[in-house]
Amino acid sequence: MTVSRFPDAPPQIMALPVEARGYPVPFFVSWIDGEPEFRAVDPRKVEHAHRQKLCWICGRTFTGAVRAFPIGPMCAVNRVAAEPPAHPDCARFAVTACPFLSKPMAKRRPMADGVAPAGIMIERNPGVTLIWHCRHYRAERHDGGWLFRIGTPHRLEWFAEGRAATRAEVMASIESGEPILRRYAQVEGPDAVAQFEGMLERALRLVPS
């Protein structure tokens, strides 16, 4: 079966397994009873992709120097991603084709084995996705999982509903997520709040004009 729904998908996406409706099954997807569960990440593949330097979406090795992280706007504040990087063209495909990334009302399901990803998980669909292109990042073990500290951006692409996001959409997503991260900082104390405010100010400079 071919990826009939997406004739313009990158070649590495076209080579993925395809489910009955014609959707390609990304590398990270969990398989349950022989069927892909698109909303559930297989946690074992996080370390495998990192160790083997594989694209998180297509599962193939990287060839270029640039890595792409599809992240929510609040990850642009702390510059931390919970998932490994992808090829830039795989990331663009994902933000236009993935229901969770392209439909604001779509909801994420938990990890296949019930284990939450490392770091702070904000349980919401932000409605906006940022593809953060960078040449350098650092992987760290955290709470039994992995976190990826993304480096200085080489390029930024903001998306909403599968198209380029407007400044208003990006700001609305940041403004709705900001109180959540601020509360975590307040628990840690005044120094953490000051650090958070500095990171927020830095992130706001990345918002498209």
Q: What is the pLDDT at residue 200? A: 97
20 in any annotated domain: no
Q: What is the pLDDT at residue 103? A: 58
Tell me the sheet residues that pair with 70: 131
Two tokens, residue 136? 């350098």
Distance of CA 47 to the CA centre of its chain: 16
Q: What is the pLDDT at residue 100? A: 62
Distance of CA 137 to the CA centre of its chain: 14
191 in any annotated domain: yes
26 in any annotated domain: no
Domain that holds residue 177: 61-204
Give me the sheet containing 80-81, strands edge to edge.
80-81, 145-150, 137-142
47 in any annotated domain: no
Q: What is the pLDDT at residue 3? A: 57
- Spatial neighbors of 77 by CB under 8 A, at least 6 apart, are 174, 178, 181, 196, 199, 200, 202, 203
**Strand residues in 26-115 grouped as ranges (E):** 29-32, 35-41, 67-71, 80-81
112 in any annotated domain: yes
Q: What is the pLDDT at residue 49? A: 96
Q: What is the pLDDT along the chain (209 residues), one digit of tens a residue?
A: 455 578 789 999 999 999 988 889 999 999 999 999 987 889 899 999 999 999 999 999 998 899 999 999 999 999 999 999 999 999 999 999 887 675 554 454 444 444 455 444 455 578 899 999 999 999 999 888 899 999 999 999 999 999 999 999 999 999 999 999 999 999 999 999 999 999 999 999 999 98
Rounded to whole angstroms, the Cα distance separating 133 from 32 reads: 32
8 in any annotated domain: no
Q: What is the pLDDT at residue 105? A: 44
Q: What is the pLDDT at residue 144? A: 81
The answer to whether the beta carbons of residues 169 and 127 sit under 8 Å apart is: yes
Look at residues 66, 64, 60, 65 and name the one whose alpha carbon lies nearest to residue 48. Answer: 60
Q: Which residue reads 């997807």 in tokens?
A: 29
Two tokens, residue 66? 């640039």
51 in any annotated domain: no
138 in any annotated domain: yes
Strand, helix or coil at 108? coil
Two tokens, residue 114? 């019930």
Look at the chain and report how many structural domains it folds into: 1
Strand, helix or coil at 36? strand
